[in-house]
Amino acid sequence: MSEALDLEAVQAFVLAADFGSFTRAAEVLDTSQSAISLRISRLEKRLQQRLLDRTPRSVRLSVRGERFMPAARELLLAHERAMADLSDIPRRRLSVGISDHVAGPELPEMLSRMAAHDPLCVIEIRIAPSRDLVAAFDRGEIDAAIIRREGRRNDGEVIGLEQFGWFAAPSWKHRAGEPLRLATMAAPCGVRGIAVRALDEACLPWVEVFVGGGVMAVGAAVAAGLGLAALAYRVAPVSAVEVSGRLGLPALPTAEIVLLEKPNDVRARETIRSLCAYFRSARFTA
């Protein structure tokens, strides 16, 4: 009888391949990079196949790894289903809030990775301003929140630094002597506050020409050429350009991206860790 595959090793392989990193896989499983490497090496030895091609800067599926990946995912899913069938615990639910200044165009990929990591978990995602998510987290309405740090609150785990810039449509023109035409979020948006303070301190006159109820609305106004806006690089419209150098606009400070969490079980924590690993590997700057 052949030796059964080690489920922990298979899970390490899938995570390392998904994130392209042993380090990120280790973060999800709350272990060390060397432990992930050892598990995968043992799996490769058991299968007598090289599953991952490793270089100092990248981890990629080998040809054999690509063939094995569908079966690896099915094996992990079958294990999850078997454990769920034998348990009286109801189907897991995980509610996560993500700041609208942080949730970029990669959101579908991020959700796909979360679902792949814990396919039997019902995932609830709430996109809202950071201050609203902090309030919801404190009230116990969500299990975790990924937010832009605001005010004096200093708890949570920093998972990235967000860079902001001044964005406008390529065709947008500023007429000398006129106030800058701004597209902004409605007050009391923190990013709006940072932007207008920076302009006021630089003695640059401005006027609001568009007020949006969300980052997507502001981005649409920018893409339409209505005005310029202070936006995080990851949520700026693809068609927009950064114009601070051309217009002599003040630099905007970076912001800490913070995780607040209180998962109720180990599996939920792993799913949240997978979300954090995604953000750690994401592009937050220019």
DSSP character string of 102-126 = T--TTHHHHHHHHHHHSTTSEEEEE
Strand 164-168 relative to strand 241-242: parallel, antiparallel, unpaired?
Answer: antiparallel
Instruction: Identify whether residues 111 and 45 lie together within a single domain.
Output: no
Question: Could you tell me how far CA 177 lies from the centroid of its own chain?
Answer: 40
Same domain, 242 and 111: no
Same domain? For 18 and 147 the reply is no
Query: Do residue 185 and residue 124 come from a single domain?
Result: no
- Burial (CB < 10 A; 0-12, 13-18, 19+), residue 31, is middle
Do residue 246 and residue 170 come from a single domain?
yes
Task: Check residue 83 and give its pLDDT.
Answer: 67
The pLDDT value recorded for residue 1 is: 40
Verify that 180 and 224 share a domain, yes or no: yes
Count of structural domains within the chain:
3
Among the listed residues 183, 187, 223, 242, the one whose alpha carbon sits nearest the alpha carbon of residue 207: 183
- Final residue in a domain of this structure, among 66, 85, 104: 85
Residue type, 131: R
Of 25, 11, 82, 9, which Cα lies nearest the Cα of 278?
Answer: 25
Boundary of a domain, candidates 85, 120, 139: 85
pTM of the predicted structure, to 2 decimals: 0.67
Question: Does residue 111 fall inside a structural domain?
Answer: yes
pLDDT at residue number 73: 84
**Which domain CATH number covers 201?**
3.40.190.10
CA dihedral defined by 73, 77, 78, 83, rounded to 10 degrees?
150
Asked if residue 149 and residue 21 are part of one domain, the reply reads no
Instruction: Examine residue 188 and say whether the peptide bond preceding it is cis (omega within 30 degrees of 0).
Output: yes
Classify residue 125 by burial, with Cβ atoms within 10 Å: 0-12, 13-18, 19+. Answer: middle
Q: pLDDT tens, 163-179?
A: 899 999 999 998 888 99
Let me know whether 189 and 237 are in one domain. Answer: yes
Domain range enclosing 47 = 7-85
**How many other C-beta atoms can be found within 10 angstroms of the C-beta atom of residue 241?**
17
Divide the 286 residues of the chain into consecutive groups of 10 and give the mean pLDDT of each group: 77 84 82 90 90 85 89 82 63 82 75 70 84 90 87 80 92 90 86 91 94 87 93 88 92 88 73 75 56
pLDDT digits (tens, 9 = 90+) for 206-251: 999 999 878 888 999 999 999 999 998 888 888 999 999 999 999 9
Q: Is residue 134 one of the residues assigned to a domain?
A: yes
Question: In CATH, what number is assigned to the domain containing residue 58?
Answer: 1.10.10.10
